Structure formats: C-alpha cells, structure tokens
Structure 1
Amino acid sequence: MTGSTGAHGASRTPTDPSQASTGQLIGELPDLVTRLVRDEVRLAQAEVKGKAKKLGVGAGLFGGAGLVALLGLNALITAAILGLANVLPGYLAAIIIAVVLFAVAGVLALLGKKDVQDAKPPLPTDTLDSVKADVAAVKGSATR
C-alpha cells in the first residue's frame, strides 16, 4: 500500500483512479466520502452566511427607506389635518384622519400576517442541489 503512513493510513494521498486497483479505490472511498460531506457542509455554511449578509444589508436599506417614507407620510397627514381644519374644527379633522389611518393600518397588518404565514425558511438550495447530484453520481458509479 503505497502512499499511506501510520498504522491506520491516516494521511493517505489519493491514487490516480486510472491506475489504481479496485481494492485501492474501495479503500479510499470512506475518506473521499468523508471529505465530500465536509466540503458540502462548508459550502452550505458559506452559502447561508452570504445570504444572511445580503439579507441584513437589504433589511437595513428597507429600514432607512421606511423611516424616510414615515417622515413624508407625517408631513402629508399634517397637511390633510390642516386642510380639513378649514371646514371642520381642528380636533374633529384630526380624529377623522386618525380613524382613516387606523383602518389602513388594520388592512396592512392583515396582509402582513398572511405573507409571514406563507414565508418559507431560507435554505441553501444550491448546496442541496449539489448534494443530490453527488448522491446520484455515487449511486450511478456504484451500479457499474
């Protein structure tokens, strides 16, 4: 057994598959499968980390946009109250605008609840596809 050191062959160097015997290839299979699984786990971790980073940046940008939009909405609400106060008492104009805003908030909350319930957890889909392809390749070569 060339290329192995130690009592259990802990640091084997992979042999050239075209020149290796079937016994050598079968002997290397556990190490190769272990390495493949570890590599796939590292790939999944990297993919999830990248997606989480993009998600964080996107959420921050949406948060900033939401804050600026809220300030603009406040200015429009104030203008609506002041405009309505020309024909009604000021307190009544503010109450009417508040009721309309609460109704809009209720509709938005119901829509948001539906979307949150329909959301699916983020998965490393590219890695899952890669693992499925690896399993299919191993099954295909095992039947030969």
Structure 2
Amino acid sequence: MADDERDDEPRSRRGLLGLLRGIPDLVRRLIHDEIRSAREEIAARLRAAAVGLGLTAAGAVLLLFGIGQLVGAGAEALHLLLPRWLADLIVGGALAVVAAILLLLGVRLLRRGVPPVPAETLASVKDDVRAATGRGLAEHADDDADDR
C-alpha cells in the first residue's frame, strides 16, 4: 500500500498542476465570452437606436409632405367659419403639436439605445471579477443595487 500512496501523490499533484495550467485558458475563454456578449448587447442597442432614428425620419418626412395639404385644406375649411388669419393659425398650431409628438417619440427611442453601453455584460464582468478575487456575489448585492 505504501507504493500505491506514492503513486497517488504525483497524480494529485499533476492534477493540481494541470488545474493551475488550465487557469490562463479559462480566463482567456471567459474574456472572449464577455467580449462576445458585449458585442451582442451593443448590437441590440444599436438596432433599437436605428428604429428610433427611422421613426424620427419618417415623422419628419410625413410632416413635410403633409404640411402643404393639411394647411391648405384645413385653413380653407376653417375660413368658411373664421377669418383667414385665424384659420391658418389654428391649422398651423395643430400641425406643430402633431410634429412635436412624433419627434419626441423618436428622440425617446434614440435615447434608449445611445450610448450603446453593454450594461448587462459589465455587470457580468463585475461578478466574474468578484468571484475570481474570492469576494463572492452575495457580499456585494448592496453594491449592485447602488450601481443601478
């Protein structure tokens, strides 16, 4: 049995050395995965920003095409009841309100995606660093709540 114990010790040491040698590869893979996750998150945020930009542009184009038609028709209709200047003022004000609503909606959607910070990936990296330094996740639950 003494010979068996001697054989087990080098195996366990080789296992420990093998684990220690594997750490750089694990860290490399972890960093690679976090970078990929950050890229995916940034891409998703940029897609959302693109939708917001598209809505803003669509609102602006429709506003340009519709202004002439709406102002002319609305002013002519109101001119039957009111003086021309008042009819033009009412129609122009209504168009300005609709345009402002469309532009505000577009700007709000743009702000959701800009800047495209990968917040979820950054939180994951913080957790990885805490785990690697032995500080743990449960100890810093209050820190995460403060960060948000």
TM class, shorter-chain normalised? 0.5 to 0.7
**Which residues of structure 2 form unaligned runs of 5+?**
1-12, 100-109, 137-148
Sequence identity, in percent?
37
* TM-score of the aligned structures, taking structure 1 as reference length: 0.52
Determine if the alignment matches structure 1 residue 36 to structure 2 residue 36: no
Cα separation, partners in 2 of 1:69 and 1:91, compared to 1, 3 Å: closer
Q: Which of 1 and 2 has higher RCO (CA within 8 Å, sep 6+)? A: 2
Q: Give the structure with the higher percent helix.
A: 2
1:110 corresponds in structure 2 to none
Determine if the alignment matches structure 1 residue 122 to structure 2 residue 109: no
Task: State which of 50, 55, 68 in structure 2 corresponds to 1:56.
Answer: 50
Output the aligned Cα RMSD: 4.7
* TM-score of the aligned structures, taking structure 2 as reference length: 0.51
2:41 corresponds in structure 1 to 47
Amino acid corresponding to residue 28 of structure 1 in structure 2: G
**CA shift for structure 1 position 87:** 8.6
Amino acid corresponding to residue 38 of structure 1 in structure 2: H
**CA shift for structure 1 position 44:** 0.7
Pairs aligned (count): 125
Report the more deviating stretch, 36-45 or 56-65: 56-65
Give the conservation status (yes or no) of the 8 Å contact 2:45–2:114: no
